[in-house]
Amino acid sequence: MSATTIAPDTRIPLRGHLRHTGALVRRNLLWIRQDPESMFDALLFPIVFTLLFVYVFGGSIGQSLGGGQQQYVQYVVPGLMAMMGMNMAQGVGTGFNQDFNSGVMDRFRSLPIGRGSVLFAKIAVELLRMLFATAVLMIVGVLVGFDIENWAGLVASVGLSAVFGSALMWVFLTLGVVMKNAQSVQAMGFLVLMPLQFGSSIFAPTESMPGWLQAFTDYNPLSSLADTARGLMVGGPVAHDLWVTLGWSVALTAVMAPVAIHKFRTKS
Amino acid sequence: MTRIDNDPKAANSAVTVRGLVKHYGETKALDGVDLDVREGTVMGVLGPNGAGKTTLVRILSTLLAPDAGRATVAGYDVVRQPRQLRRVIGLTGQYASVDEKLPGWENLYLIGRLLDLSRKEARARADELLERFSLTEAARRPAGTYSGGMRRRLDLAASMIGRPAVLYLDEPTTGLDPRTRNEVWDEVKRMVGDGVTVLLTTQYMEEAEQLASELTVVDRGKVIANGGIEELKAKVGGRTLRVRPADPLQLRPLAAFLDELGITGLASSTVDAERGAVLVPILSDEQLTAVVGAVTARGITLASITTELPSLDEVFLSLTGHRAGAPQDAEPADDRQEVAV
């Protein structure tokens, strides 16, 4: 190695990071404008799932809740909000993987920008899609009779979904970088999400589940997220589940964000 | 290891590579490569698929870390000063690296912003480069709708936004038809005219001859020859003159006549009976003129007379004694996905 010392590499100022992330957000938004079909899932998912769950399971689960279908609407809509966020979060990995295989990533990575910018921009746009899906969900929810008892709670729930959703996006971004093609990213995401979503209190109360499953659902962050949203919007205890959800969000981000950025930086 | 700082060859070179090594498991994509590209020149890196060309470009653009060796671009170390280095390079890959969903203008504007131009500067630069690369009319169309040539031009424009000191052209015309290829060559020549240093990788001797002033021939991760392009051409036998007499019966007499001419240094001719032509290896324009002059003076009616550059295969055959890219393909076709990290 050379005997002379080499000046350390320059650092990118915060303003630079913001500028780069902004430019990349614009790119991702232009993608949506170019390809509006990419919003179909955000539009149709909440509609289809709300109608399915309310009208297929609503009657019977509602009865066990001590009411009817209306009781179930109050139960499931906040749960669906939690679920919707996670489905949107999963999409981030697939899209990112496609990006990688198109060669445009090489250009980005040969530019003097922070490696995180590309990932932050992706997350920002995915959060916007998540907000859109949540808005659709609330409209459909109200149409099938959901009663928003606490508007501030609604806003807080949306915020909490976004926090947990973006934490989970780091996991899917990592999958998107590491896995070879978009199909495997999707399959993997499905495998991770399915048990989390159905083994939770999103769709039905967990009291009637076997003990071993309850042990799982109790620690499942999606249960906490759904229960918090429920508590915030229609009333009920909140504090414990809120802290559990926030704890998961912080832990996931702290572990997975550096991993995702590192994998992105060193992908060859 | 060589010290770049005390290396006289490295003094005015824009790209300096010493002992660069990159392995993919068992295969050695780069196996101790040395390279110097002088400022303001075009260095052609010629080699078959799998020779390590793309790996070299990827290391020099900080997309890949070398396993050993050193490389500097415009004085910046590829490993230790990647951000500064990225500011002075432009990259166009063999995989057209434009965003197909974005319109041409948006592609350029985006890169401008990522290179820290102000909104106004980025807009102006996008307009200017679209104009220069004759893409103004297609500015608002998604790049995915562009023809192959337009896409390469957009790719070149994108790599020029930051006014790079060193430009990497990784097989810029692979997969293009001859007309589009000429179009891209013309653009590259204009860029070189502006004083950019270019590192060009190619599989075609013809492309190297058109664009490069110096040539490095690589094979299986090793440099097997380098030097001025004329120098190397002489080494590999230069051009071949293909003379086709109008009357096929003249074929052998013509060959015999040329062999008896006694032009200095002219190698003996061969007869390509199948295509009715006599082939004469020539090393200089003087020889070419002398041969054409003698044939004309003799009064032999000719159907055609053409010169041909040696193919990559022939270059390899004369340099290494084996054919290009033969048994092992050191570099995976798509090495971006090859390495699990």
Residue B201 is predicted with a pLDDT of 94
The reply to whether residue B5 touches residue A30, judged by beta carbons under 8 angstroms, is no
> Starting at the edge strand that comes first in sequence, how are the strands of the sheet with B13-24 ordered?
B27-38, B13-24, B68-73, B76-77
Query: Is B326's pLDDT higher than 60?
Result: no
At B22-44, the pLDDT tens digits run 998 888 899 999 999 999 899 99
Q: Quick one: DSSP state of residue B142? A: B
The reply to whether residue A27 touches residue B114, judged by beta carbons under 8 angstroms, is no
Contacts of B114 in chain A (CB under 8 A): 20, 23-24, 108, 111, 113
Determine contact, residues B243/B257, Cβ cutoff 8 Å. no
Q: How many CA atoms lie within 13 A of A177 on its CB side?
A: 26
Determine contact, residues B288/B276, Cβ cutoff 8 Å. no
In which residue are the tokens 């994998």 written? Answer: A263
Query: What is the full per-residue pLDDT of chain A (268 aa) written as tens digits?
Result: 444 556 777 788 888 899 999 999 999 999 998 888 888 888 999 999 999 999 988 888 888 888 888 889 999 999 999 888 888 888 888 888 887 777 788 888 889 998 889 999 999 999 999 999 999 999 999 999 898 888 899 999 999 999 999 999 999 999 988 888 888 888 888 888 888 888 888 888 888 889 899 888 888 899 999 999 999 988 888 888 999 999 999 999 999 999 999 988 887 6
Q: Which of the residue ranges A204-218, B153-167, B244-258 has the most confident prediction, judged by mean pLDDT?
A: B153-167
Nearest CA of chain A to the CA of B280: how many Å? 44
Interface probe, candidates A32, A107, A125, chain B, greatest B C-beta count within 10 A: A107
The reply to whether residue B114 touches residue A267, judged by beta carbons under 8 angstroms, is no
Residue B30 is predicted with a pLDDT of 94
The reply to whether residue B80 touches residue A6, judged by beta carbons under 8 angstroms, is yes
Contacts of A259 in chain B (CB under 8 A): none
Q: Residue B116: what are its φ and ψ, rounded to 5°?
A: 70, 25
Nearest CA of chain B to the CA of A190: how many Å? 22
The C-alpha atoms of residue B53 and residue B72 are separated, in whole angstroms, by: 17
Interface of A with B in 16-45 (CB under 8 A): 16, 19-20, 22-24, 26-27, 30-31, 34-35
Residue B6 is predicted with a pLDDT of 59
The reply to whether residue A6 touches residue B65, judged by beta carbons under 8 angstroms, is no
* Tokens found for residue A84: 């919707």
Residue B3 is predicted with a pLDDT of 47
Instruction: Say if A239 is an interface residue toward chain B (CB within 8 Å).
Output: no
Residue B231 is predicted with a pLDDT of 78
Considering only alpha carbons, which residue of chain B is nearest residue A98? B99
Instruction: Say if B261 is an interface residue toward chain A (CB within 8 Å).
Output: no
Sorted by sequence, the CB contacts under 8 Å of residue B111 that are 6+ apart come out as: A107, A111, B158, B161, B162
Determine contact, residues B1/B19, Cβ cutoff 8 Å. yes
Query: Is B10's pLDDT higher than 70?
Result: no
At B59-95, the pLDDT tens digits run 999 989 999 999 999 999 999 999 999 999 999 877 6
Residue B229 is predicted with a pLDDT of 80
| Residue A19 CB-density burial (10 A; 0-12 exposed, 13-18 middle, 19+ buried) | buried
Sorted by sequence, the CB contacts under 8 Å of residue A159 that are 6+ apart come out as: none
Instruction: Say if A5 is an interface residue toward chain B (CB within 8 Å).
Output: no
Please tell me which residue, B334 or B256, carries the higher pLDDT value: B256
Determine contact, residues A121/A263, Cβ cutoff 8 Å. no
Nearest CA of chain A to the CA of B5: how many Å? 7
The reply to whether residue A23 touches residue B114, judged by beta carbons under 8 angstroms, is yes
Determine contact, residues B331/B56, Cβ cutoff 8 Å. no
Query: Is B328's pLDDT higher than 60?
Result: no
At B290-303, the pLDDT tens digits run 888 888 888 888 88
Instruction: Say if B163 is an interface residue toward chain A (CB within 8 Å).
Output: no
Give CA torsion, residues A57, A62, A64, A67, to 10 deg: -160
Query: Is B4's pLDDT higher than 60?
Result: no
The reply to whether residue B101 touches residue A24, judged by beta carbons under 8 angstroms, is no
Phi-psi sector, B171: left (phi>0), alpha (psi -120 to 50), beta = left
Contacts of B81 in chain A (CB under 8 A): 6-10
Query: Is B7's pLDDT higher than 80?
Result: no
Query: Is B268's pLDDT higher than 70?
Result: yes
Length of chain B: 341
The C-alpha atoms of residue B90 and residue B214 are separated, in whole angstroms, by: 20
Q: Residue B32: what are its φ and ψ, rounded to 5°?
A: 85, 65
Q: What percent of chain B has pLDDT over 70?
A: 85
Mean pLDDT for B247-270 is: 80
Contacts of A111 in chain B (CB under 8 A): 86, 111, 114-115
Query: Is B116's pLDDT higher than 70?
Result: yes
The C-alpha atoms of residue A125 and residue B170 are separated, in whole angstroms, by: 32
The reply to whether residue A111 touches residue B339, judged by beta carbons under 8 angstroms, is no
> Starting at the edge strand that comes first in sequence, how are the strands of the sheet with B270-272 ordered?
B270-272, B277-282, B239-245, B302-308
